[in-house]
Structure 1
C-alpha cells in the first residue's frame, strides 16, 4: 500500500520541479510509439499516439505563444514552431504521406528537448546564484536573562543578544561583545583566508564561525544584513534585462512578423516563378519557419550575463544587473574617491615624536583622548592600547570643536589639539618641534600637540592609511589599458596629492563638494565615454549615480552608496576591480561570439533549405542544436 501511494507522489513532485523535462520524455515516448505503429501499418494507433505527442510536447509553447499573440498582439518563436509542426501534420494528412506527421512530431519533440536543456542550463546559473540562500539561517540562539532560546531570525530585534557556537553559521549581522574566533567569510566577501573577530568587530550573516564562541549584539534589523542585501540585489539582477537583451527581444518580435510574411510568400510564389509543386513549396515554407526562427539569437545574451553575475558573486563582486556587467567591460576611465576607498577610512597613528619620554607622552595622550569621540582621538587610544601602555581617566574634560580638547590628568591641566589651539592655552616653547610638525603636515598627516602641566610633551601624527593592495590594483588597471585614472577627494589638496602619488595616480581633484564630483564625472564621460566611479560614502552617492558604472565598497560603504551603486565589492578589495573588468570584457566577447554563431547558423540553414538539401527534422535539429550550443557557450562564464 505504501509503495503504491509513494510512486505517484514521487512523480508528482518530479513533475512540479522539472515539468519541461517530464514533458519532453513523454513526448519522445509517444513519438516513438506512434512512429512504430505507422511502421507496422497500425495506422489508427499511429494517428492516435502522434497527436498526443503534439499535445504533450507543444502545450506549454502553444499556451505561451497564444498568450503573447492575444494579450500583447505580438508573434513569438514558440508560436512559429507550433504553426510549422501543425502545417507538417496537415500536409501529411492531405497527401497521405504520414511520415510528415512524424516530422511535425519530431519538430515538437526536439523543440521540447531544447526547452528542457535550456531550462537546465539556466537553472545551473540560477542555482549558483540562489546558493546564496543556503547561507542564511532560519533560527538564532538568543540569550534572554542568561538562558539560550531558539528564535526565528525574522523575529530578532535591534539590541538582542545572540550566541554563535563553534562551527555554526552566523544567523545575522552583529557586533561582537564577548569572545574571540576566526570566521570563514569566503561565501560573502570572497576572502580566501579566515578573518579574526573579537570584541568590537562586526560579523556578517552567512559567515561560518571557527573554534571560538561569540556573543553578538544586533545593531541593525536582520532584513538589512549584508547577505540579505546581496540576495535582493541578485534577484533584481535576474529580473532586469540589459539593453542588449531588450534590443534582441524587440528585434525578435519584428523579426517574427517578417518571418511569417516571408513564409506566406514562400508558400505561394515559388510555383509561379520556379514551377515547384505545391506540396514541395509548402514543405519548404514550413522548414523556413523553423530554421529562420531566432531562438539561438534569443539565447545568445542572458545565459552569458547571468553566468557572469554568478561568477562575480562567488568572487565577492556583486553586479546588480546584466547591463552593468556589460558596461564594466567597456570602462575606459575610472575615478576613485580617496577616504574609505583608496584608504582604509580609519585614521591611524603614524608618528610619535616625544621631547623626552615617549611612554609618558603616550600615557597622557591616551588619558585625555579617551574622553573624546573624535576619530583622531580614537586612533590615538587604540595605538596606545596596542603598545600596552596604561593610563588614567581624565576629568573636567572639555572639547573645543575644530581645535582640540582640554582636561585634568593626574591633577594637572592637559591639552591635546593643533598648534594654534596649544598656543592659546599655554605659553611654552614649541620651537624644537616646529620643523618636524611641518614636515609631517606636508606629508598630509594631521599633527596633534600634547601638553601637560604647562609643558609640551611632544606631537603625535595621525593619517588615513592607504589600503595595502591599492598601489598594485592601480598598476594592474593601467596594464589592462584603462586610459585614465583620477582621484576625487573632498580633502585638502596636499593630502590628496600624497595619497595619489603613493598609489600611482597622476591626476588629482581635491577639496570637492558632492556636486563637484558629479561635474567631473560628466566631464570624463564626454571625453572617454564609459566611466566608472569607485566610492563608499554618502557624499559619493551622486557621483556613483552619474557614472556609467558606480562601484561601492561593500563593507565600509554607506547604505546610500550601496543602494546607489551598480556594482559592489563585498570585501572592499580593490584588486577585485581587475576581476570585474575582465569578467565584463569576457562576457562581451562571449555574447558577440554567440550572436555571430547564431546568425551564421540561421544563414546556413536557410541556404540549405532553398537548395532543398534538408528535411524538416534535420532543419529542427540544426535550429534547436544551435540554440542549445549557444546557451551552453554562455555558461562558460561560470568558470571564467
Structure 2
C-alpha cells in the first residue's frame, strides 16, 4: 500500500471514513485545495494503491467509494445461549461474500453488520437460520420510519414473497418483511403510508396500517420447544422402561433414535455450520458426544445427553432473555401514541409522526409521549424512569418534561422538543445497550482463556479416545466413552457466561435507578474505587446562591427587604437575583424607584422618595465615609463562613445587612455518610474558596479531606496527588467545567444527565438526577457485581475440575457431564439475577 500525505487549508469540507481512510469532500470552487488522509486500514485483505494528495478538480466528482456509503445495520438475534454461540454466528456471517464486517454482542443479543452492494436482509436471515438462530432488524435508515401493515388476500408463502419483491422496488423503501404466517408486512421507508398501500393494491392485495405497535418485538415463543422437550422426554422414559418390561431392545433403540432426532435437530444443524465456520462451540462438542455414544451402542446415554442439553439450553435462553428485557422494557414506558393539538381539535397520532414544535396534550395519569417544554398547566411529574427519583417533581410553565415520565395531576400542553428517536429515554437505552456490548477486563480475559481452553481439551479428548487402547490400557468402548464425557466437559459454558450476565444485570439495575454506567470496565472500576473527590459548587452545593440571613439595624425587616427588592430587581447579578427572589417569596412589594445605577464591582444605587439608597459590599460604604466599626467584625465572620455580605443603606446611615450563600444540596450529607458506610476510605472536597470557607463547609458535610483555593488546572493536580498516594480515585463534577479532572481520575462521574447531552457524553458514569443519593448504591452495586463475578468464575472452575477428575475413575456418566455444564450455567445465571433485584 503506497500513500502520501499533505496538510493544506480546506474550504467547506466534510470528512467521512472508509476502512480507516479519511475521505474529504471539498467545495468545487476551491480548486487548489487538496485532501489529507491517513493509512490506518484495519482491513488488510484489500490492497489500495493511491496517492493521498490529489488536486481537486471537476473530474474528482467522478471518484466515489461505494463501500464508504455503507452503514452499519443492527439486528436482534434470538436463541444464543452462551458467548460461544455469538462467536460461531459472527464467523459464519463474516464468511458471506455480501458482508464486509459483522459483530455479535452476546450480552445484548445484537448483531451489527456492514454489508456490500449485494447485501440484503434475506441473505442474512437465511445464513442466521442455518446456524440455528432467529434474527430481526432493529434499526432503520436515518430519517425513515418503520410501519406495520395488515395484508389481506395472501394464500401462500409465494404471495408474501411477491409482495416483498414488488414493494422493495419502491425507491423510498429501504427494507421489507412480509410474513405469510401472521399476515403482516413491516416496511422501513420514508414515504407516505398511502403510497405503500397503493403499491400493494396494484398487485391485487389490500394493506392497512396497524397502529399502537410496541416498539420492541417479543422474541419467538418457546412454547413449541417445551412441547418437543416434553414429548422426547416421554419417549426416553418409555425406552428406559422397555428394558424392565421385556420389550424388544430394538424398540427401545428406536424410541431413543426418534428422541435424538427431534431434540438434536437444531444442535446438529448448528454444529454443521459451526464447523464450516471453523468454530468449536457447545453444539459441535455435544453433537460429537451424542453421535459417538450411538456408535458405541449407548443409545440411552446419547438420547439423555441431547435431551438434557436441549432442556438446559431452553432454560438458559429464557433466563438470559429476562436479563436483556430489563433494558428493552424501558422503551415500553413511553406511549406509542400522542394527542396532538390541531387548532381546537385533538388528534391522536403515532409518536413517530409527531414533529418538533407540535403541541401535545397530556392528561392526568397519562405518560409523557415525547420530550418537551410545558406551555400551559402545572403538575407533579413522576420522573423515576429517567432519574430514579422516587418523589414526583413539581413542574410549571417553561419546565422540561421527558418521554416515559408520568403526569400525576393536572392537564398539560407541551411543545415537543425532540423526535421519538432523540428523546432522553431513547438516548439512555442506546447508551446502556452500548455499555452492555463493551467487554469488561475480566470478561475479555475469560473469553480469551475459553478460546484456548476448548480446542486444547478437544485435542486431549481425542488423545484419550485413541492413545490408551493403542497401548493396551483398556478397551476401545471404555476409553471412547471417557473421551466423549471429556468432550462434553470441554465447553466452558458456565465460565464464559459468568461475567457478561452479571455485567448486564448490574448495568440494567443501575439504569432503572437513574444511573448510567457506560460499560463493564467502568462498573469494575467503580467497585475498585477507594477515594472519591467532589467539586463543591454545583455538586456538593446547589450552585445557586440563596439568602441565608437578614439583619435589620435601623429599620424594620419588611422595609429593609422592600428597599433591597427595589434596588436589586434591576440587576442581573446572581446575588441580586437571590435577594429579589427571597423578598418576593416573602410577599414583599417593591417601592417606586428611579435613577437606577450600577456601581461596577461595588453594588447598585437608586432614588426612593427623594433619598438615594445603596446596596453593595463594604468597600462601597467605606467610600461613602460611613462608620463601619460596629459591623466590621460581623462582616469578617460572615465572610469567613463563605457568605457574601450585602449592606443596605444611604449616604448617612446603615439600614441593615443581608447575607447570601450557596446552600448544600439536601442529599449531600446523606450521600457522603452513605459512601463512608460502604467503606470509602477518602471522601474529598475540591473548591476554589479560601481555606476558612473550605474548612467550614468540610465540617458541615463531614468530608475526610479538602483542597482549597484551586484553579481548574489545580483540581487535576489534586487528583494526581491522590493517585500517587495509592488511591483509586473517582471524581464527581458537572461534566462540563470539571472535564479535565474527570478525565484524569480513574472514574469520572457526572451530575445531572437528564436534559444535558454534555454530561451524558463526558463521564464514565452519569447520575441522571441532580443529586448524589444514588452514589452509595452504585458503589455497593459495583462491588456486589465483582463479588458475584468471582463467585461465578470459581463455581464454574470447581464444577469443571470436579467433572474432569470424575471422568477417569469412570464415575462421571455422559448425562452427568451434561448436567455439570448446563446445570452450572443455569446456576451462574440465577446467581447473576440477584443484581437485577438489588435495592438501595
Q: TM-score, normalised by structure 2?
A: 0.68
Residues 406 and 447 (structure 1 numbering): CA distance in 2 closer, same or farther, change over 3 Å?
Answer: same
Residues 483 and 88 (structure 1 numbering): CA distance in 2 closer, same or farther, change over 3 Å?
Answer: same
2:231 is aligned with 1:29 = yes
- Paired residue for 1:369? 568
Moved more, 396-405 or 208-217: 396-405
Asked if the contact 1:20–1:115 (Cα under 8 Å) also holds between the matched residues in 2, the reply is: no
> Aligned to 1:17, which of 219, 222, 229?
219
Distance in 1 of aligned mates of 2:754 and 2:574: 15
Residues 236 and 414 (structure 1 numbering): CA distance in 2 closer, same or farther, change over 3 Å?
Answer: farther
- Paired residue for 1:550? 748
CA shift at 1:289, angstroms?
0.9
2:804 is aligned with 1:606 = yes
> Aligned to 1:77, which of 274, 278, 282?
282
2:624 is aligned with 1:457 = no
2:762 is aligned with 1:560 = no
2:820 is aligned with 1:622 = yes
CA shift at 1:484, angstroms?
1.2
Distance in 2 of aligned mates of 1:566 and 1:303: 20
- Paired residue for 2:779? 581
- Paired residue for 2:292? 87
Residues 16 and 44 (structure 1 numbering): CA distance in 2 closer, same or farther, change over 3 Å?
Answer: farther
Asked if the contact 2:682–2:704 (Cα under 8 Å) also holds between the matched residues in 1, the reply is: no
CA shift at 1:408, angstroms?
5.5
CA shift at 1:276, angstroms?
1.1
Asked if the contact 1:304–1:587 (Cα under 8 Å) also holds between the matched residues in 2, the reply is: yes
2:694 is aligned with 1:496 = yes
- Paired residue for 1:66? 275
Note the aligned Cα RMSD (angstroms): 3.5
2:311 is aligned with 1:113 = yes
Asked if the contact 1:368–1:393 (Cα under 8 Å) also holds between the matched residues in 2, the reply is: no
> Aligned to 2:736, which of 535, 538, 541?
538
- Paired residue for 2:619? 420
Q: Deviation per CA, 1:554-585, whole angstroms, max 9, x where unpaired?
A: 35895323322222223333232211111112
Distance in 2 of aligned mates of 1:145 and 1:273: 92
> Aligned to 1:526, which of 715, 724, 732?
724
Bigger proportion of residues as helix:
1
CA shift at 1:153, angstroms?
4.5
CA shift at 1:300, angstroms?
1.3
Residues 271 and 212 (structure 1 numbering): CA distance in 2 closer, same or farther, change over 3 Å?
Answer: same
CA shift at 1:332, angstroms?
0.8
2:409 is aligned with 1:204 = no
Distance in 2 of aligned mates of 1:490 and 1:219: 36
Moved more, 48-57 or 129-138: 48-57
Asked if the contact 2:605–2:613 (Cα under 8 Å) also holds between the matched residues in 1, the reply is: yes
Asked if the contact 1:332–1:528 (Cα under 8 Å) also holds between the matched residues in 2, the reply is: no
Residues 171 and 593 (structure 1 numbering): CA distance in 2 closer, same or farther, change over 3 Å?
Answer: same
Q: Map of 1:31-430 to 2, 5 A cutoff?
A: 33=235, 41-42=250-251, 49=258, 52-53=261-262, 55-59=264-268, 61-62=270-271, 65-66=274-275, 69-70=277-278, 74-89=279-294, 91-92=295-296, 97=297, 100-143=298-341, 148-150=346-348, 153=351, 161-217=359-415, 225-272=423-470, 275-355=473-553, 356-391=555-590, 397=596, 399=598, 402-406=601-605, 413-421=612-620, 423=622, 426-430=624-628
Asked if the contact 1:30–1:52 (Cα under 8 Å) also holds between the matched residues in 2, the reply is: no
Residues 593 and 162 (structure 1 numbering): CA distance in 2 closer, same or farther, change over 3 Å?
Answer: same
Asked if the contact 2:735–2:742 (Cα under 8 Å) also holds between the matched residues in 1, the reply is: no
Residues 499 and 59 (structure 1 numbering): CA distance in 2 closer, same or farther, change over 3 Å?
Answer: farther
Distance in 2 of aligned mates of 1:374 and 1:220: 32
Residues 78 and 588 (structure 1 numbering): CA distance in 2 closer, same or farther, change over 3 Å?
Answer: same
CA shift at 1:290, angstroms?
0.6
CA shift at 1:220, angstroms?
6.3
Asked if the contact 1:266–1:281 (Cα under 8 Å) also holds between the matched residues in 2, the reply is: yes
Aligned residue pairs total 625
CA shift at 1:137, angstroms?
2.9
Q: Deviation per CA, 1:128-164, whole angstroms, max 9, x where unpaired?
A: 2222112223444444656545455456666654432
Q: Map of 1:461-472 to 2, 5 A cutoff?
A: 461-472=659-670
Asked if the contact 2:374–2:399 (Cα under 8 Å) also holds between the matched residues in 1, the reply is: yes
Residues 487 and 269 (structure 1 numbering): CA distance in 2 closer, same or farther, change over 3 Å?
Answer: same
Distance in 1 of aligned mates of 2:184 and 2:800: 38
CA shift at 1:291, angstroms?
1.8
Distance in 2 of aligned mates of 1:615 and 1:11: 48
Q: Greater RCO between the two (CA within 8 Å, min separation 6)?
A: 1
Asked if the contact 1:177–1:199 (Cα under 8 Å) also holds between the matched residues in 2, the reply is: yes
Moved more, 271-280 or 613-622: 271-280
CA shift at 1:166, angstroms?
1.0
Residues 491 and 213 (structure 1 numbering): CA distance in 2 closer, same or farther, change over 3 Å?
Answer: farther
Asked if the contact 2:268–2:284 (Cα under 8 Å) also holds between the matched residues in 1, the reply is: no
Distance in 1 of aligned mates of 2:418 and 2:650: 41
Aligned residue for 1:539, secondary structure, equals: coil
Asked if the contact 1:544–1:565 (Cα under 8 Å) also holds between the matched residues in 2, the reply is: yes
- Paired residue for 2:644? 446
Residues 628 and 414 (structure 1 numbering): CA distance in 2 closer, same or farther, change over 3 Å?
Answer: same
Residues 403 and 132 (structure 1 numbering): CA distance in 2 closer, same or farther, change over 3 Å?
Answer: farther
Moved more, 115-124 or 56-65: 56-65
Unaligned ranges ≥5, structure 1: none
Aligned residue for 2:737, secondary structure, equals: helix
Distance in 1 of aligned mates of 2:616 and 2:272: 75
Residues 232 and 405 (structure 1 numbering): CA distance in 2 closer, same or farther, change over 3 Å?
Answer: farther
Distance in 1 of aligned mates of 2:684 and 2:530: 12
Distance in 2 of aligned mates of 1:491 and 1:553: 21
CA shift at 1:469, angstroms?
2.7
Q: TM-score, normalised by structure 1?
A: 0.87
Unaligned ranges ≥5, structure 2: 1-152, 157-179, 186-216, 243-247
CA shift at 1:402, angstroms?
4.9
Q: Deviation per CA, 1:397-452, whole angstroms, max 9, x where unpaired?
A: 5556654445556676554433334555x454444433322221111011223346
CA shift at 1:165, angstroms?
1.9
Aligned residue for 1:329, secondary structure, equals: helix
Q: Deviation per CA, 1:481-508, whole angstroms, max 9, x where unpaired?
A: 2111111123444433322121011321
